[in-house]
Structure 1
Amino acid sequence: MALIQIHEADNVAVMLEDVKAGEAIISAGITLVALEDIDKGHKIAIRDVQQGEAVIKYGFPIGHAVVNVKAGSWVHTHNCKTNLGDVLEYEYQPNLLQVPAACNHMTFQGYKRENGRVGVRNEIWIIPTVSCVNRTAQLLAKWANDEFAGVDSVDGVFEYTHPYGCSQLGDDHETTQRILAALVNHPNAGAVLVLGLGCENNNIAEFKKVLGEVDAERVKFLIAQEVEDEVVSGQEVLKELVAYASKYERSECAAADLVVGLKCGGSDGFSGITGNPLVGAFSDQLVACGGSSILTEVPEMFGAETILMNRAKDKAVFAKIVTLINDFKDYFKSYNQPVYENPSPGNKKGGISTLEEKSLGCTQKGGRSIVCDVLHYGQSVSAKGLNLLNGPGNDAVATTALAAAGCQIVLFTTGRGTPLGTAVPTIKVATNSDLFRHKANWMDFDAGQMLAGKSLETVREEFFQYVLAVASGQQTKAEIMGFREIAIFKNGVTL
């Protein structure tokens, strides 16, 4: 029976295969007898842990034992509980790690835009200002993809429907406008049709105030109530936009032009051992090349936040991270919800017991780089390097926020599997090889190779080349299947 002790200080290890009660385990210098059946990916106590004592994984506490736990016992939600609580005070204790540069002049074939940004796709996007015209947007996208199927220089026409744009107040209304404006300005969109109804709160005249100045050839507007047949009128506008976008061709771009989002969902016991460390190593390499990465899912930083805080480039960024964490805790408390209400049922089934355990695995996607900035929800990235983004753990909302922040690609690690895709190419990284084989139609890359003995450095190089191939036009599984949803955060009243 094989297991892995991640850190020398750990008092639990992770099973690499199922074990039955009574079976002997001799692995990596550890000799145990399993006291009960334990599934792979789950934790086994490698020494006695007394009631109230910290359960240690990754070298950090992931909770405490609520009963005496004997060596060889299964450690999970029945005997391990969170240490998390309310809002905390923090002190800046800089621990800026040295991350070796590993760039080697990495390039990809992308689309250079006039404003200096670079896209990895040259698509036409239809952005509804309000849900009332969602179906119109769908009809127009279907027509355009049939009509312009032979136009090689355009990578497709896609609508991004949502349930908002009217009957919202205050922050929610502004949030919807910011996210939609960021998508209109996204470099993966060669051209954009903004489709409105006419009487909505987020009517085109109001939306333009948030959107700012745009290229009138690249972005066109259509108000459905002001034309006799909005579908026919929309088709005419799309003809103009396809003609405009067709002028772009792929050319060599530096890896420094990439902005990549970092996300996980449906984690398992291997997420913090394979997929998330792999994405973290990728992030460090991209930052070394002069590129940018963005880590979100604030609730999944709880319990591991000091690791990120102590990597802040200065006290100003440290203060932003403190605000990011404590404001999100206050958001939970404002609805009388516990701040530690995570992990999900799927996470627990995969072997994760507490939010600290999930967070310590989750934050590994940020690698070891210095945290250079913290972004508000709906804010676009401006600083090169590793950024943190305010957003929830919800997969659809978080990936949309990453796209809106300027990510051309999102890296999504999972040990449970999901077909999810957002407005930008979403690369699904399987944390175990069983998942990669079982859901080959969902998963793009197998990080489980690391469990079979392949080194992190070797897999990182393979993965970096794969990401560059996607940036150069290779489609992800989500793109092939047509999974391209967006979701916008909501926190207030609907009229």
Structure 2
Amino acid sequence: MKNIIQINENDNIVVALTDLTKHEVIIIRNKEVTLKEDVKRGHKIAISDIKMDENIVKYGFPIGHSVVDVFEGQWVHTHNIKTNLDGIKEYKFDQKLIENTYTNRNLTFNGYKRIDGNVGIRNELWIVPTVGCVNGIADRIIDKFKEMVGDLTIDNVEVLKHNYGCSQLGDDHISTRTILGDAVKHPNNGGVLVLGLGCENNGMDDFKKSLGDFNEKRVKFLISQEVSDEIQEGANRLVELYEIMKEDKREVCSLSELKIGLKCGGSDGLSGITANPLVGKFSDFLVAQGGSTILTEVPEMFGAETLLMARSKNEEVYNKTVHLINDFKEYFMKYDQPVYENPSPGNKAGGITTLEDKSLGCTQKAGTETVVDVLKYGETLTKKGLNLLSAPGNDLVAASALAASGCQMVLFTTGRGTPFGSFVPTMKISTNTQIFELKPHWIDFNAGSLVQDKSLEDLTEELVEYIIRVANGELVNNEKNNFRELAIFKSGVTL
């Protein structure tokens, strides 16, 4: 196994693939470099002298500039490098499309075909509360329902708990209603009970109207304050839905029906070397099959946004991408928060130094395909191919936004590890083998083998096969652990 990697031949740093010690000698392109200090896995090492204010180059692009003179063999991190990013940039459309080398292999999976033309990879029964006040009632309804029906023959029954739906104004109120409506119409459910309290501002009548067209046989409603025994009434409605859902069967579907969300969290210095490029390869592969992928985490595009803009399908998509980026920057500035201080303590401990460093690694999940559309928060996917979605970097909020946009599954790369899941299967892909071996009950797939014994092409094929198995019904760890979350973006006042 190699102990360092130079990602791009123009880089003036290399990344440690293992923990390295002071005085250890590394060899880069036949040149010996002696380490001047200990360097942990995922962290950067200067391979030449770098003067103060000179750019630090990784992935072939600047990730910041040195704030002191840095010497060959030194550790490069937050103590001697600072971001180059500042303010809101002016952009220019400069299209540079990249040809996809994958071909359509006409692969299939077994999914649930819904009446609206969408396809689910699960057949679950959901309670969607209009307001967080009824979360506990929903739990009791499910308990009663299970007493009534015994062993389930569907995939799962769950409550999509959240703490909103009342005391919200403006955009927050609309966002809550929109995300909950997206969940109601999501193809991974075969039936939904919309459960209200009766006095919330996300009222049932308005909520129904906001849904537009929906399958009335598969969606039922209950206002708790209007019935004597809301537990029994709710359980009765679940039984009605269950009787319909029991007849649902998996059918052969084209891989073009898959919509996959792309997300990372707890990133480390290997994220942009192993897991994110692997997911990028899968994204290119799925798009070539006629399927769709969605990249979000807008603040983690800052510093790499021009690479995505250059891949816009046309000037309209380019302009939407510019708005996506600048609107989020203005959101930060509205609250007097720094735009470019994104890497978390865990990111920094794992070797990520600046936002450019993080973003250039993060956006690799999008592969090289053309960006066909840009979605606002709460909008659902309509165009097949690679899409961008407005949502923050927060793991729970972004993963929920991907699920709400219509994704049947989220691919979540991580170097630090995390157990959570959204309300759709949330596949954890580790950047390093160590976390995969330490947390096998969290991590579903190991991309760390890319720096050990696997080629990117071979591991991509393994990932494709695994994703198809999950689409066919194989559970990922968040499902096995019953870790399922719905988190809604909040930006304004709570009454």
Name the TM-score class by shorter chain. over 0.9
Separation in structure 2 between the aligned mates of residue 102 and residue 297 of structure 1, nearest angstrom: 29
Q: Which residue of 2 aligns with 1:282?
A: 282
Q: Which residue of 1 aligns with 2:347?
A: 347
Question: How big is the shift at 1:251?
Answer: 1.1
Question: How big is the shift at 1:20?
Answer: 1.1
* Secondary structure in 2 matching 1:176: helix
- Any conservation in 1 of the 2:145–2:236 contact (CA below 8 Å)? no
1:416-455 to 2 correspondences below 5 Å? 416-455=416-455
Question: How big is the shift at 1:174?
Answer: 0.4
Supply the AA of the counterpart residue of 2:434: D
Cα-to-partner distance string for 1:282-334 (whole Å, 9 max, x where unaligned): 00000000000000000000000000000000000000000000110000000
Q: Which residue of 1 aligns with 2:113?
A: 112
1:74-153 to 2 correspondences below 5 Å? 74-145=75-146, 147-148=148-149, 150-152=151-153
TM-score (norm 2): 0.98
Separation in structure 2 between the aligned mates of residue 27 and residue 359 of structure 1, nearest angstrom: 25
- Any conservation in 2 of the 1:4–1:28 contact (CA below 8 Å)? no
Supply the AA of the counterpart residue of 1:77: T
Question: How big is the shift at 1:461?
Answer: 0.4
Question: How big is the shift at 1:453?
Answer: 3.4
Question: How big is the shift at 1:145?
Answer: 4.5
Supply the AA of the counterpart residue of 1:359: S
Question: How big is the shift at 1:148?
Answer: 4.1
Question: How big is the shift at 1:30?
Answer: 3.8
Q: Which residue of 1 aligns with 2:12?
A: 11
Q: Which residue of 1 aligns with 2:359?
A: 359
1:147-296 to 2 correspondences below 5 Å? 147-148=148-149, 150-152=151-153, 154-296=154-296
Supply the AA of the counterpart residue of 2:23: G
Question: How big is the shift at 1:103?
Answer: 3.1
- Any conservation in 2 of the 1:145–1:156 contact (CA below 8 Å)? no
1:262-341 to 2 correspondences below 5 Å? 262-341=262-341
Separation in structure 2 between the aligned mates of residue 28 and residue 296 of structure 1, nearest angstrom: 36
Separation in structure 2 between the aligned mates of residue 30 and residue 304 of structure 1, nearest angstrom: 30
* Secondary structure in 1 matching 2:101: coil
Separation in structure 2 between the aligned mates of residue 178 and residue 137 of structure 1, nearest angstrom: 20
Supply the AA of the counterpart residue of 2:46: A
Supply the AA of the counterpart residue of 2:44: K
- Any conservation in 2 of the 1:145–1:157 contact (CA below 8 Å)? no
Separation in structure 2 between the aligned mates of residue 195 and residue 189 of structure 1, nearest angstrom: 16
Task: Decide whether aligned partners of structure 1 residues 335 and 460 sit closer, same or farther in structure 2, where only a CA change above 3 A counts.
Answer: same
Question: How big is the shift at 1:88?
Answer: 1.0
- Any conservation in 1 of the 2:4–2:14 contact (CA below 8 Å)? yes
Separation in structure 2 between the aligned mates of residue 102 and residue 349 of structure 1, nearest angstrom: 40
Question: How big is the shift at 1:143?
Answer: 3.7
- Any conservation in 2 of the 1:262–1:366 contact (CA below 8 Å)? yes
Task: List runs of 5+ in structure 2 lacking aligned partners.
Answer: none
Cα-to-partner distance string for 1:1-38 (whole Å, 9 max, x where unaligned): 72000000000000011111111123553411000010
- Any conservation in 1 of the 2:144–2:231 contact (CA below 8 Å)? no
Separation in structure 2 between the aligned mates of residue 221 and residue 30 of structure 1, nearest angstrom: 70
% identity of equivalent residues = 56
Separation in structure 1 between the aligned mates of residue 86 and residue 197 of structure 2, nearest angstrom: 46
- Any conservation in 2 of the 1:30–1:46 contact (CA below 8 Å)? no
* Secondary structure in 2 matching 1:373: strand
- Any conservation in 2 of the 1:2–1:27 contact (CA below 8 Å)? no
- Any conservation in 1 of the 2:6–2:14 contact (CA below 8 Å)? yes
Question: How big is the shift at 1:144?
Answer: 3.4
- Any conservation in 1 of the 2:194–2:222 contact (CA below 8 Å)? yes
Q: Which residue of 2 aligns with 1:392?
A: 392
Moved more, 262-271 or 203-212: 203-212
- Any conservation in 2 of the 1:144–1:157 contact (CA below 8 Å)? no
Separation in structure 2 between the aligned mates of residue 257 and residue 272 of structure 1, nearest angstrom: 28
Separation in structure 1 between the aligned mates of residue 51 and residue 304 of structure 2, nearest angstrom: 23
Q: Which residue of 2 aligns with 1:46?
A: 47
* Secondary structure in 1 matching 2:220: strand
Separation in structure 1 between the aligned mates of residue 52 and residue 281 of structure 2, nearest angstrom: 36
Separation in structure 1 between the aligned mates of residue 462 and residue 350 of structure 2, nearest angstrom: 26
Task: List runs of 5+ in structure 1 lacking aligned partners.
Answer: none
* Secondary structure in 1 matching 2:122: coil
Separation in structure 1 between the aligned mates of residue 380 and residue 371 of structure 2, nearest angstrom: 16
- Any conservation in 1 of the 2:145–2:238 contact (CA below 8 Å)? yes
Q: Which residue of 2 aligns with 1:64?
A: 65
Task: Decide whether aligned partners of structure 1 residues 227 and 30 sit closer, same or farther in structure 2, where only a CA change above 3 A counts.
Answer: farther
Task: Decide whether aligned partners of structure 1 residues 31 and 135 sit closer, same or farther in structure 2, where only a CA change above 3 A counts.
Answer: same
Cα-to-partner distance string for 1:401-460 (whole Å, 9 max, x where unaligned): 000000000000000000010110000000000110000000000001100131111000
TM-score (norm 1): 0.98
* Secondary structure in 2 matching 1:372: strand
Separation in structure 1 between the aligned mates of residue 494 and residue 442 of structure 2, nearest angstrom: 35
* Secondary structure in 1 matching 2:49: coil
* Secondary structure in 1 matching 2:429: strand
Separation in structure 1 between the aligned mates of residue 189 and residue 332 of structure 2, nearest angstrom: 35
Supply the AA of the counterpart residue of 2:75: W
Question: How big is the shift at 1:104?
Answer: 1.3
Separation in structure 2 between the aligned mates of residue 464 and residue 484 of structure 1, nearest angstrom: 24
* Secondary structure in 1 matching 2:397: helix
